[in-house]
Amino acid sequence: MSENNSLDRRKFMISSAAGVAAYALPGVAEPRPQEGKKVVYGIVGAGNRGRNTHLRIATKYLPEVQVAAICDITKANLDQALAMAPGAKGYDDYHKMIESEKGIDAIVVAVPNFLHAEVTVAALNAGKHVLVEKPMATHLADADRMMEAATRNHRVLQVGLQSRYGTVYEKMIQLIKEGVIGDLEYIVGNLYRGDWNPHSWKYKDPKTGAETNWRFLTYCAGSALLEDGIHELDVIHWVAGVEPSKIQATGGNNVLKDRQTIDNAGLLIDFSNGVRCIFSYTVYSPGVPDNRALRLLGTKGEMTWGIGTAEELRGTGNSEIVVIPYRGKEQKVVVPRLTPEEQASWHEVAGGVSTDVESFREHKAFLASVVKGAPVFADGQVGKDAAHISLAAERSLRTGHVFPWSEESTI
C-alpha cells in the first residue's frame, strides 16, 4: 500500500445509523411537527413497495404516524391502499395531493425510479419532509436538485437505503474498527436474485404505445444496478469508508433478453484508500441459497456474512458473521436482528427470519429527524453516491470505459 493510501487509511471514518451521521444534515427542519403529535404522512406510489412496506409499516407499527393521503394513478392499487388506511384520502395526481393536503408533514415517495426527482422536489418545495425510495434518482444532476431543494426549504431528505439501518453491517464495521481483521484490503460482495416482479407497473412508451414492465426499461429504471444491487453497493461504500477512485464493469443480457435492462454484471471498484472490491450480480437466480453475501479480507484475517445460509437454515432469526483470523481460531459472532423491544412487537417473519425490520427502523430514523432534528444517516449524499456507483458501472459495462469517480459530470 502506498504512503498516500496509508494517509487515507488514517482518515478512515466510519459512521453508524445509531451514532454519528456520515454527512451533514441539509438544513434544520423547521417548523417541526410538535413532539407528541402524530406526524402526518402522504404516500405517493401505492404499488408493491408503497403499499406492502411503507403503508403497512406506517399503519401497523407506527402509532406516532397518521396516513392522511395516498396517491396512485393505478386505481386498483390506490383502492387496496385506501382499504388499509381508514380515513386517508385518495388522489390520482400528486400535485393535487400536495396542494390540497396542507396538514401533511412528510411524503413517502415510492413511484418508479424516473419519477423520484420530480415528486421529491415538488414535495420539498411545498415544505414537506421526504423519504424517497432508492435509487434516489436516475441522473446525478437530479440528485443534486433534490439535495438543493431540501437545503433551501430546510426539510429532511432521506433515501430508502434501509440496509444502513440493519444490525449486521454495523457489526461488521465495528469489528473492522476493533481491528479483528487488521486493515481492510479487499471486499467481495454479491447479489444473486430472481427476475423482477412481473406485477410491476407498466409504462406506456409514448413512442411505441407498448405497455412494458418499468423495470425492463432504461428510461424508467435508470439501470438494473440502480434498481437492485444498489443496497449492496451502498453498504460496500459504507464499509470501505471513503470514496471510490474508479469503477469498471462487465455485464449484459445472457438469459433475460426481452428487455433493455441487463441481467448480470461484474464490477471492479477501487477505493481512494487502496481498498479494492469485486461485486457480482445476476437477476436470473431464483431461490439460490447464497443470494447475498459480503466477505471482507484484511491484513490479519477475514470475515464473512451471507443471507440464505446459516441464519435462514437454522431459523434463529439472528445473523452470524464468521471471523477467520489468518493465525488463530475461527470465531462466530451472532448478531441479533431485533432489539428486545422489537422482539416483542415485530411480527413480520418468513422462514424463521424477521423481515423488513430495517425498513421499520428507517421510518423510526426519519421520524426522529422530522420531529427532533436528528441527523439523517441515509441522506441525499449517501443516496447520490450509491446512484453514482451504480450508474458508473452501468456506463462502464456498456462502453468498456473505466470511470474515474471524478467523471461525475458525464454520468
94 binds ligand NAD, rule: CB under 6 A: yes
| Residue 172, amino acid | M
How many residues sit close enough to ligand NAD to count as binding (CB under 6 A)?
Answer: 26
C-alpha distances (whole Å) from 250 to each of 246, 272, 397 are 14, 21, 4
**Closer by beta carbon to ligand NAD, 61 or else 94:** 94
212 binds ligand NAD, rule: CB under 6 A: no
Nearest distance, CB of residue 78 and ligand NAD, angstroms: 8
Distance of CA 122 to the CA centre of its chain: 21
169 binds ligand NAD, rule: CB under 6 A: no
Nearest distance, CB of residue 162 and ligand NAD, angstroms: 6
**Closer by beta carbon to ligand NAD, 274 or else 383:** 383
Across the beta sheet with 65-71, what order do the strands follow? 89-91, 65-71, 39-44, 106-109, 129-133, 157-160
Site for ligand NAD in 227-246 (CB under 6 A): 227
By rule CB under 6 A, what string of x and - marks binding of each residue 102-121 to ligand NAD?
A: --------xxxx-x------
The stretch near ligand NAD (CB under 6 A) out of 69-77, 172-180, 297-305, 394-402 is: 69-77
**Closer by beta carbon to ligand NAD, 176 or else 224:** 224
User: Of 23, 362, 15, whose CA–CA distance to 160 is shortest?
Assistant: 362
Distance CA 136, CA 123 (A): 14
User: Of 275, 334, 267, whose CA–CA distance to 299 is shortest?
Assistant: 275
131 binds ligand NAD, rule: CB under 6 A: no
Nearest distance, CB of residue 74 and ligand NAD, angstroms: 3
160 binds ligand NAD, rule: CB under 6 A: yes
DSSP state of 109: E
Nearest distance, CB of residue 220 and ligand NAD, angstroms: 9
C-alpha distances (whole Å) from 255 to each of 171, 230, 258, 299 are 36, 21, 9, 38
By rule CB under 6 A, what string of x and - marks binding of each residue 283-312 to ligand NAD?
A: ------------------------------
Applying CB under 6 A, among 8, 72, 312, 394 the residue interacting with ligand NAD is: 72
User: Of 119, 50, 15, 6, whose CA–CA distance to 377 is shortest?
Assistant: 15
Distance of CA 128 to the CA centre of its chain: 21
Applying CB under 6 A, among 74, 218, 304, 316 the residue interacting with ligand NAD is: 74
Nearest distance, CB of residue 407 and ligand NAD, angstroms: 25
396 binds ligand NAD, rule: CB under 6 A: no
Cell of 125: 418545495
b/e for 354-381, b at 16 or more Cβ within 10 A? bebbbbbbbbebbbebbbeebbbbbbbb
Nearest distance, CB of residue 57 and ligand NAD, angstroms: 12
Question: Contact, 273 vs 8, CB < 8 A?
Answer: yes
Distance CA 391, CA 221 (A): 11
Applying CB under 6 A, among 15, 59, 66, 77 the residue interacting with ligand NAD is: 77
Distance CA 158, CA 362 (A): 9
Question: Contact, 164 vs 234, CB < 8 A?
Answer: yes
5 binds ligand NAD, rule: CB under 6 A: no
133 binds ligand NAD, rule: CB under 6 A: yes
The stretch near ligand NAD (CB under 6 A) out of 167-175, 194-202, 290-298, 374-382 is: 194-202
Nearest distance, CB of residue 359 and ligand NAD, angstroms: 7
By rule CB under 6 A, what string of x and - marks binding of each residue 6-45 to ligand NAD?
A: --------------------------------------xx
Distance CA 194, CA 202 (A): 19
Question: Contact, 215 vs 261, CB < 8 A?
Answer: yes
Closest-CB residue for ligand NAD?
47
Question: Contact, 131 vs 160, CB < 8 A?
Answer: yes
**Closer by beta carbon to ligand NAD, 31 or else 206:** 206
Nearest distance, CB of residue 113 and ligand NAD, angstroms: 5
Distance CA 86, CA 109 (A): 20
| Residue 170, amino acid | E
Longest dimension (CA), the chain: 65
**Closer by beta carbon to ligand NAD, 162 or else 369:** 162
Residues in Cβ contact with 409 at an 8 Å cutoff, skipping those fewer than 6 apart: none
Chain residues that interact with ligand NAD, rule: CB under 6 A: 44-50, 71-74, 77, 94, 110-113, 115, 133-134, 160, 162, 197, 200-201, 227
